[in-house]
Structure 1
């Protein structure tokens, strides 16, 4: 016979009552209700902000002994909000429909809860789910469309993250569709069933949106472009470079160095979303490659690795196509221009090399700064000049051998863009940038240092599919510290050697 714990009837009733998610979602017209907010400190400000952001005409009475300047600043734009600077008493519940208790006094909050129950009023008590009759969910709003998210009081953080994903994933243009549907609804005739069928047919494209040719065939485009580019380069080298044939038979040990480097740097890039270009550029310069040849090797290897990474992000739905369209064309123009200029200066590589080393040293310092969060506060406003950002990022990436992720991805995230969608979009954009800049380099330079090119191509391609899994096992902060220090030391070595030659 099973022995039950000694629970009171109230405790048994409470556990049964709270079993599962018992919340019933509703949308309340606060502009037609009388709201009481008790507390006007930081907690009260948070509640007040949530209310007026969603119901600008809400009739609110604030009762508090102390009222912060931020609360006064907020209510200045809402003349219907009244303030009573005093202690709460039971008479404040007269002529009230709904109550928010937002003080840092636990005893007072519990007392308000008891009084509201006695008066038949609904109450929300800040940070006390067990005392609440209702919760404030995370809100996603696109015009007249409003989505509320609740976790039954279990994890507001999860609700916040879901809000960020939906805010980024739901296009603002959906409100225009909503208005058009409202206008269409007013023109429909017939019974309820006929109207529903007509509206369902019109909105079918929302769940099965028509995709462009590029979106439908991006996977095949990536693979076909990669195979054609590598095929053209391989065939050209075989026909024009006798040493290339010899290399395939008697592999230069340098190939293995670049094979390992490509694999390692691609894993690092997969873990932190950046640094493949800067780490590979630093390594290539240290191994004696001229800047233009180093950048060519880097970008040819990025075609396949970024094609694979971009395709994987595409399958996971991490690509923001609107952002991609704004980014891609200026980025390609910048990359081709950067590759052309750097290739034109190949004969002056002895002087270009220290400039590139200074740049990579600077990027290494930036990586360290990001690791320890020595940066500006994240902006609430999304970055607007996407085209200019793409052009600058593409140019610097090609001209200096790397920096696309460090510049573009960091700027997008710092400017308020969602990290996941920014990473996916930057990765798939980089595939096209690498392809066009590689063609420019190869046209200008021909087949040079192919042992480095092949090593990076194969190494990075092998690493790409497993980079995401490895990144979950290793601390990103540890990786960034190591990368920053190594890049700065290798770059500093190149700078010092150049100075010693001048002396």
Structure 2
């Protein structure tokens, strides 16, 4: 099977997106989708391809985080079961409804979380206790991810970090849980629209798989304050971009 020159760009996109996602616990879907859409690819093809590739990239990423002992097992199961349920419901129901109406509120929520994470990184905000209702968080993060893509990491990671979660284990656990959520969502999409655009999927997959171990290594060895600062800035940019886009368009 012969692929065109764009195939190598897909590999680079997957590699860059997974480096960000594996090190910060979010943004594979956001980074890869944004670039692919900018290349003029159809939105449906982008969404299906990114979710399919994420089955493999999140699997390798989760295994890499497990190898470097970045996973909290109790948190993993509390996130995973409810997140998979939310993802399946989102893939079946929300993709057929006008879900864009709630997105501005989600990004306002992320904006608040970004501020809290940045305050925490500078020692100005110390949560008294960690998030208790993790299954509820997992359910809505899975729901958001399936309804539009890219919602799992920003919502789950940001909420847990703002609530006092340790950066290394929070990011590692969210990445590992994402494999199960992505598998559930992708299987649902596969049963409804099938598998298409193999070139995009393979390119993202190869780049993401190559980057996953490097990202897991980085999150274990980079100081927590640095990780919190970068995550806070990233979430701030994501939320401001989407809030601005909602107001402008």
What is the CA–CA distance in structure 2 between the aligned matches of 1:356 and 1:255, rounded to whole Å? 35
Name the structure 1 match of 2:148.
Answer: 400
| 1:329 and 2:87 matched | no
Name the structure 1 match of 2:14.
Answer: 262
What's the CA shift for 1:435?
1.0
What is the CA–CA distance in structure 2 between the aligned matches of 1:363 and 1:442, rounded to whole Å? 31
| 1:381 and 2:133 matched | no
What's the CA shift for 1:373?
3.2
Selected match of 2:35 from 261, 283, 294 = 283
What is the CA–CA distance in structure 2 between the aligned matches of 1:374 and 1:278, rounded to whole Å? 25
- SS of the residue corresponding to residue 89 of structure 2 reads helix
Measured on the aligned residues, the alpha-carbon RMSD in Å equals 3.8
Name the structure 2 match of 1:123.
Answer: none
Selected match of 2:190 from 420, 439, 442 = 442
Name the structure 2 match of 1:308.
Answer: 60
Name the structure 2 match of 1:455.
Answer: 203
What is the CA–CA distance in structure 1 between the aligned matches of 2:108 and 2:70, rounded to whole Å? 30
What's the CA shift for 1:393?
0.6
Which of these two proteins has the greater Rg computed from alpha carbons?
1
What is the CA–CA distance in structure 1 between the aligned matches of 2:246 and 2:42, rounded to whole Å? 12
CA deviation string 1:310-331 (max 9, x = no partner): 1222233333322222222211
CA deviation string 1:115-165 (max 9, x = no partner): xxxxxxxxxxxxxxxxxxxxxxxxxxxxxxxxxxxxxxxxxxxxxxxxxxx
What's the CA shift for 1:432?
0.8
Residue 390 to residue 360, structure 1, CA distance change in 2 (3 Å)? closer
What is the CA–CA distance in structure 2 between the aligned matches of 1:287 and 1:495, rounded to whole Å? 24
What's the CA shift for 1:414?
2.7
Residue 481 to residue 419, structure 1, CA distance change in 2 (3 Å)? closer
Residue 444 to residue 343, structure 1, CA distance change in 2 (3 Å)? farther
CA deviation string 1:324-378 (max 9, x = no partner): 2222221101111212235547xxxxx88x8799689769857864674399944
Count, aligned residues: 243
Residue 276 to residue 369, structure 1, CA distance change in 2 (3 Å)? farther
Name the structure 1 match of 2:215.
Answer: 467
**Structure whose residues are more often strand by fraction:** 1
CA deviation string 1:267-326 (max 9, x = no partner): 112232222232233333333445554332222222222212212222333333222222
What's the CA shift for 1:430?
0.8
The TM-score, its normalising length taken from structure 1, stands at 0.41
Q: Whose relative contact order is higher, 1 or 2, with alpha carbons under 8 Å and at least 6 apart?
A: 2
What is the CA–CA distance in structure 2 between the aligned matches of 1:256 and 1:366, rounded to whole Å? 38
Residue 447 to residue 312, structure 1, CA distance change in 2 (3 Å)? closer
What's the CA shift for 1:410?
2.2
Name the structure 1 match of 2:157.
Answer: 409
Name the structure 1 match of 2:48.
Answer: 296
Unaligned runs of 5+ in 2: none
Contact 1:265–1:276 (CA<8 Å) still a contact in 2? yes
- SS of the residue corresponding to residue 373 of structure 1 reads helix
What's the CA shift for 1:402?
0.9
Unaligned runs of 5+ in 1: 1-247, 346-350
Residue 442 to residue 264, structure 1, CA distance change in 2 (3 Å)? same
Contact 2:108–2:243 (CA<8 Å) still a contact in 1? no
What is the CA–CA distance in structure 2 between the aligned matches of 1:322 and 1:357, rounded to whole Å? 30
Contact 1:330–1:387 (CA<8 Å) still a contact in 2? yes
The TM-score, its normalising length taken from structure 2, stands at 0.76
**Structure whose residues are more often helix by fraction:** 2
